[in-house]
Amino acid sequence: MAKMHYLCDFTLLGEAAEPPRLSYATQMIGAQLEWPETKGEGISVAVLDTGVDLHHPDLKHIAGAADMTGEGVQDKNGHGTWCCGAIAANGKMMGAASECDLYAVKVMKNDGSGEVKHIIAGLKWCLENDIDVISMSLGGPKPSDPEYHQVIKQLYKKGVILVTAAGNYGAMFPSDNTVMYPAVWPECIATIAVDIHKDLAPFSSRGSEAEIGAAGKDVWGLWKGGQYVKVSGTSMATPCLAGAVALLQAKAKFRRGSKMDPDTLRWLLQMYAEDLGAPGRDRKFGFGVFSFGRFDQPDSPGVELKFKVGSTRYWKNGEEKQAHIAPFIKSSRAFLGLRDAGEALDCQVDGSNLPFITVKR
């Protein structure tokens, strides 16, 4: 058992052909606030996972992939593709750091299991290829092979930031310390998961090693086969935070001409995290949820409305609806009833106090 690690358990909740452009997890980090200055360019990020869907339209720009398992880099699980997308998607969805140099390093098999020797090989690959940030949404019990921790120490000493999943055993053992390895080790950032309201996700592992939180419940992202799905798990919070780290390093490189060492960057994450639990660091939230700005937007797909001149029929995201009045053209300008437009956008339109009309959502 000690020789094996597994993906941090995740729950597949739904699929969509038209996902939101930005997941609420990306918005909660405030990644878009940094994009006018940088989208992570010049920073190399490796996702150690189940590989990647090389044909996903939102990941055509990835810098490279490597396989340590013998199964090939193509992701037949989906987990690795989701994690890659959270960091660097650039298509229908946008990851937190879409212009970083993203590498998918397959260390976990298609069934979600992974041998420690493959994870070590993946970490060594990162060491040899000058990776700046590593995202690891995997974990297990304390490994018997001391080389695992040794290579992580080497990476940290070299300046590599390791963002790791705390685990998903909080609901089963709420009073116990359930943070998994490698997140337990002091060189790793143990990432916990919160929901859209910044409440601790019930499944999120707890313990003294918990360091920083990010959104990990009901989050949209990429999937194998060019799909988009909504999933939950600390697996989801980890790459979101890794994307934020890539933005911070890119910003440091641009402004100072050099990247931050791991200690300095972690101090910055801790100081700017929103403290959500007991004052200071606590076993549930760590230092809190990091963000470049406070989050106040829901996670919902965009709305596409299609009206036809002269017809009371219209379509909302492809579904046929019925309007009160038909749109018409006058002097080359299109006119549409306010009530129809408001209700189509799920707003309440109140005309009972004419001449005032109120639109609320």
User: How many residues are listed for the chain in this entry?
Assistant: 361
Q: Within a 10 A sphere around the Cβ of 50, how many other Cβ atoms? A: 33
| Annotated catalytic residue 53 | no
| Annotated catalytic residue 261 | no
Give me the mean pLDDT over the 329-343 stretch: 74
- Of 193 and 4, more confident: 193
- Distance set, CA 215 to CA 58, 147, 234, 250, 295 (Å): 21, 32, 8, 22, 11
Among candidate residues 23, 49, 137, 149, the one labeled active-site is: 49
End-to-end CA, the chain? 52
Q: Is 256 helix (H, G, I), strand (E, B) or coil?
A: helix
- How far apart (Å, rounded) are the C-alpha atoms in residues 223 and 53? 8
| Annotated catalytic residue 79 | yes
Say yes or no to pLDDT of 317 above 70.
no
Residue 54: name the closest of 222, 178, 302, 243 by CA. Answer: 222
Spatial strand order in the sheet of 219-223: 11-15, 227-232, 219-223
CA angle, residues 211, 212, 215, in degrees to nearest 5? 145
Q: What pLDDT sits at residue 296? A: 54
Distant-in-sequence, close-in-space partners of 262: CB < 8 Å, separation ≥ 6:
156, 159, 160, 161, 162, 187
Among candidate residues 5, 56, 75, 79, the one labeled active-site is: 79
Residue 137: name the closest of 193, 90, 91 by CA. Answer: 193
Q: For residue 150, which phi and psi values (nearest 5 degrees)?
A: -60, -45
Q: What pLDDT sits at residue 275? A: 94
Q: What pLDDT sits at residue 299? A: 47
Contact 20, 299 (CB under 8 A): yes
- Cα-Cα-Cα-Cα torsion 193, 198, 200, 204, nearest 10 degrees, comes to -10
Q: Which amino acid, one-letter code, is at 126?
A: C
**Is the C-alpha dihedral spanning 298, 217, 13, 81 positive or negative?**
positive
Average pLDDT, the chain: 90
Q: For residue 280, which phi and psi values (nearest 5 degrees)?
A: 85, -160
Residue 47: name the closest of 73, 11, 19, 15 by CA. Answer: 73
Which segment of 182-191, 192-201, 202-211, 347-356 scores lowest on mean pLDDT?
A: 347-356
Contact 221, 15 (CB under 8 A): no
Say yes or no to pLDDT of 1 above 90.
no
Cis before 182? omega within 30: yes
Q: What pLDDT sits at residue 12? A: 63
Contact 215, 288 (CB under 8 A): no
In the chain, the percentage of residues whose pLDDT exceeds 70 is 90
Give me the mean pLDDT over the 25-53 stretch: 96
Give me the mean pLDDT over the 280-288 stretch: 96
The 8-class DSSP code of residue 287 comes to T
Among candidate residues 118, 235, 291, 340, the one labeled active-site is: 235
Give me the mean pLDDT over the 29-53 stretch: 96
- Give 103-144 pLDDT, tens digit per residue: 999 999 999 999 999 999 999 999 999 999 999 999 999 999
- How far apart (Å, rounded) are the C-alpha atoms in residues 129 and 46? 10
Give me the mean pLDDT over the 331-352 stretch: 72
The position carrying tokens 């009530």 is 339
Q: Which amino acid, one-letter code, is at 273?
A: A
Q: What pLDDT sits at residue 300? A: 46
Which segment of 267-271, 275-279, 288-292 scores lowest on mean pLDDT?
A: 275-279
Contact 238, 136 (CB under 8 A): yes
Distant-in-sequence, close-in-space partners of 261: CB < 8 Å, separation ≥ 6:
159
